[in-house]
Amino acid sequence: MSEKATAGVHPRKSASAPGRSSSKGRAFWVSKLPPVSAFVVFIGGWELFCRLAGMKPYLLPKPSDIVRAASENAANLWVSVYTTMIESVLGFLISIVLGVGFAIILASSKLIEKSIYPYAIILQTIPIVAVAPIIVIWFGAGINAIVTIAFLIGFFPMLSNTLIGLNSADHNMKNLFYLYNASPLQTMFRLRIPAALPYIAAGLKISCTLAVIGAIVGEYIAGIGGGKGGLGYAITVAASRLQTAYLFACGLSASLLGIAFFLIVNGLSKWLLSSWHESEMNSSEG
């Protein structure tokens, strides 16, 4: 009797594994169906409205006009995307290094934090278009000024989030490090920085998209033209020539660039935190 029972258990287990995987795949596609359906309805309604209303392409281009403009100017569009991508990445990397570095300095001393952090807040509240001309005077027009503007926009989220994370380390663990005569550097690098990683990841997600915005804003003010202009320069030229379809294509390209940055940073965050932090562990299990 027991052999029959055990013999009946194993096939049931092996048969349930494919069913479980297929149900997960079905659930995945079901979850993607609403946004995809909404996108199709939106694009189709946009196309239909423009055709029925007889909208002029320079006022409101159809989605098909945007696709056509992007394909006809694919070479120039790719150069613009590539230029903006390089500027955004450079500004983003500098904001990471200086943001995390200054946060560590501020967190190492309450006196330094109270003395300097208010000025970082003041710097964040100044509109970037107000200081951009000064940056152009200091660094000259071109990539140096654009990268600086992208860095300034992405700097404060990295500084603020990292500082909050460093100050949020568990006090009991701090006391334990103190009891074992750990030096301030050991406490910082072995306790406070690991504890701040989720906050640093949150700052990265914010800063990476702001870096794209900062690069495009910088290109409006300090961009270089010709064949190496970025998306900001391409948008300016398209607007001056009433090439609205290409203007939409450039704007959508900038949006896709920001989404790509966010997905890369989000994947890196999951890789860093999924093995030990509850927020990513729960999402990976689901």
Looking at 54, 74, 96, the residue that finishes a domain is: 54
Residue 196 burial (10 A CB sphere; 0-12, 13-18, 19+): buried
pTM: 0.81
Q: What is the pLDDT of residues 95-148, one digit of tens each?
A: 999 999 999 999 988 898 888 888 888 888 888 888 888 888 888 878 888 999
Which residue do the tokens 């940055």 mark? 261
| CATH at residue 214 | 1.10.3720.10
Give the pair of three-digit tokens for residue 174.
Answer: 């701090």
Distances, alpha carbon 136 to alpha carbons 84, 144, 220, in Å? 17, 9, 12
Of 248 and 276, the one with more pLDDT? 248
Which DSSP letter does residue 191 get? I
Residue-range definition of the domain harbouring residue 47 = 1-54
Distances, alpha carbon 93 to alpha carbons 155, 189, 256, in Å? 10, 21, 19
Q: What is the pLDDT of residues 183-229, one digit of tens each?
A: 888 888 888 888 889 999 999 999 999 999 999 988 888 766 555 78
Same domain membership, residue 127 and residue 84:
yes
Looking at 10, 28, 54, the residue that finishes a domain is: 54
Same domain membership, residue 184 and residue 136:
yes
Same domain membership, residue 101 and residue 73:
yes
